[in-house]
Amino acid sequence: MSADLLSHIRIVLSHTSHPGNIGAAARAMKTMGITSLYLVNPKKPIDAEAEAMASGAADVLHGARICASLAEALQGTVYALAVSARRRELAYDSADARGAVQALIAAARQGEVAIVFGTEMSGLTNEEILQCRAVAHIPADPGYSSLNLAAAVQVLAYEARVAALGAQPFPAADFAPAKHEDVERFYVHLEQSLLASGFLDPANPKRLIPRLRRLFGRAGLEQEEVNILRGMLNSFGKNT
């Protein structure tokens, strides 16, 4: 799977009421690597509030394409996914956000796709949903399922990124692991210190040292940590 798939995704906002929500949606998109924004008849133009809410995603905001209709915004796409929180009288192919995005990403391998959001107050109309291939819903708490538009965009953009790239491990900190010989010298130092303090009885050592080896082995000691531990042992010796 490739990040190129994310470039095939359009976020379409239909008849948005508040410019600030457009800016916040642009920010949500950019954090997930999606930059193609389409606006269908926004009720107000992009303004200073939208720019403030974009917070570093002004390129996505000002690159937005303004369209006169949803049909225009979907032109050239091979798949469109409507996002709706309401049950509809007509039977639509519907799934939760995670499941619905799987089909979207599969289609993105063939061409441009779109995720479509409606107005802040009433969402998408039935006529707009009929122009889409499937419906996604966010399984929020039924007792309070109201999501801000940008929050809904963030959820779908996140699911799209995970579906396209797979789960990404958190980058490991760039610390040097301790060398084998330095760890072994630490164990010798530790044993000597335990003997000197009387904590380790040479006549009855039991399995103290093997257990300590297991403990520090699980920790995966870094070089700096070995240095700190040996410095601590040295300081204990000075105070005795």
Domain boundary among 139, 165, 191: 165
> In total, how many domains does the chain have?
2
For residue 13, what is the enclosing H or E element?
Answer: strand 9-14
Same domain, 7 and 52: yes
- How far from 122 is each of 13, 19, 137, 146, 149, CA to CA, in Å? 13, 17, 14, 11, 11
Rounded Cα gap, residues 76 and 87, in angstroms? 28
What digits encode the pLDDT tens for the residues 170-215?
666 678 889 999 999 999 999 999 999 999 998 888 899 999 999 9
Same domain, 189 and 215: yes
User: Is 170 a member of any domain?
Assistant: no
Same domain, 200 and 101: no
CATH code, 52: 3.40.1280.10
Same domain, 24 and 131: yes
What digits encode the pLDDT tens for the residues 68-122?
999 999 999 999 999 987 665 554 667 899 999 999 999 999 999 999 999 988 8
Same domain, 188 and 150: no
Task: For residue 131, give its domain range.
Answer: 3-165
Residues 6+ apart with CB under 8 A from 34: 6, 9, 11, 157, 160, 161
Q: What's the whole-model pTM score?
A: 0.75
- Provide, rounded to the nearest whole percent, the portion of the chain with pLDDT above 70: 91
Domain boundary among 165, 198, 217: 165
Same domain, 159 and 206: no
Give me the pLDDT at residue 227, please: 95
Do 29 and 11 touch, CB atoms closer than 8 A? Answer: yes
Domain boundary among 140, 165, 190: 165
Give me the pLDDT at residue 239, please: 59
Rg over CA atoms, the chain: 28
Rounded Cα gap, residues 30 and 8, in angstroms? 14
Same domain, 145 and 198: no
Same domain, 52 and 80: yes
Pairing, β 36-40 against β 9-14: parallel
What digits encode the pLDDT tens for the residues 127-184?
999 999 999 999 988 888 788 999 999 999 999 999 999 866 666 667 888 999 999 9
User: Is 159 a member of any domain?
Assistant: yes
Closest by CA to 9, choosing from 117, 107, 89, is 107
Q: What is the DSSP letter of 17?
A: -
Same domain, 149 and 57: yes
Rounded Cα gap, residues 64 and 198, in angstroms? 72
CATH code, 197: 1.10.8.590
Res 18 pLDDT > 80: yes
Res 49 pLDDT > 50: yes
Q: How confident is the model at residue 35 (pLDDT cuts 50, 70, 90)?
A: very high
Same domain, 157 and 186: no
Same domain, 59 and 32: yes
Same domain, 31 and 135: yes
